[in-house]
Amino acid sequence: MYKRLIELCTDICKRNGKSKLVWFGDKDKTLNYTTKSGEMILTVHRWFANKSCPGDWLYVRLGDLAEKVTAALQEADPGGSDSDTQEKIKWYRVRKNWADSKGQKGAYKILDNAKKCADQNPGYKVFDADGKVVYEPKAAESAEKAPFLMKVGISDLNIRKGPGTDYGRVKFIPVSVYTIVEVKDGKGSEAGWGRLKSGAGWIALEFVERV
């Protein structure tokens, strides 16, 4: 089972364009650490809730797990996530912009899979190995799929009276999941603006995540 876990973690890192798995074993250090390009960092459930997950047996082996996963990744791709080897395989990366490697949703060998990921995450585009946009969902396409659920994960996102930053601010929307019933283009959000089912107003879809 441990061997399978190493293989699973290696596969997850590969699919997300990562070349190194990092484990510090310290909550504060982990949460204050800024990951470098190609890095994925390990956290555990017990740090955020009154739980014992993942259990002491595995917890004391997470350093070994990170080392073995990193070794497997580097053996498969000695140059890291942005190496010539991977670029020759034609990885398609889903990001808000090419420089936003930390916010990357995934790296895909198949373009259609990358497009599906971008469709499910407003504001995200598909980039080729050279950083050029090869696919960008339109707000109008999202509108055809309404209603849908969106997760607000930041505490300072404004609700606007209309679809754009040129409309007045209502208030900050609390972190939670909301139903979007309509999507329109508007100033201040490349992904468009979503009208809340509650009638409170509109939010920028560029800063939220589809559930």
Q: Which of 210, 207, 169, 202 is nearest to 186 (CA)?
A: 202
Question: What is the pLDDT, as a whole number, of residue 22?
Answer: 92
Total-model pTM? 0.39
Q: Is 127 helix (H, G, I), strand (E, B) or coil?
A: strand
Give residue-wise pLDDT tens across range 84-110. 444 455 789 999 888 878 788 888 888
Mean local confidence (pLDDT), 115-139: 84
- Which of these, 150, 138, 211, 144, lies nearest to 182 by C-alpha position? 144
Distant-in-sequence, close-in-space partners of 125: CB < 8 Å, separation ≥ 6 = 94, 95, 96, 97, 118, 133, 135, 136, 137
Fold of 139-210: SH3 type barrels. (2.30.30)
Residue 198 pLDDT greater than 50, yes or no: yes
pLDDT digits (tens, 9 = 90+) for 162-173: 999 999 999 999
The pLDDT tens digits of the residues spanning 17-54 come to: 888 999 988 888 888 888 888 899 999 998 988 878 88
Contact 150, 211 (CB under 8 A): yes
Distance CA 13, CA 131 (A): 20
Q: Where in the chain is the domain with CATH 2.30.30?
A: 139-210
Query: What is the pLDDT at residue 89?
Result: 58
Per-residue pLDDT at 139? 55
Q: Give residue 163's pLDDT.
A: 92
For residues 74-78, average pLDDT: 61
The predicted model gives 59-81 an average pLDDT of: 77
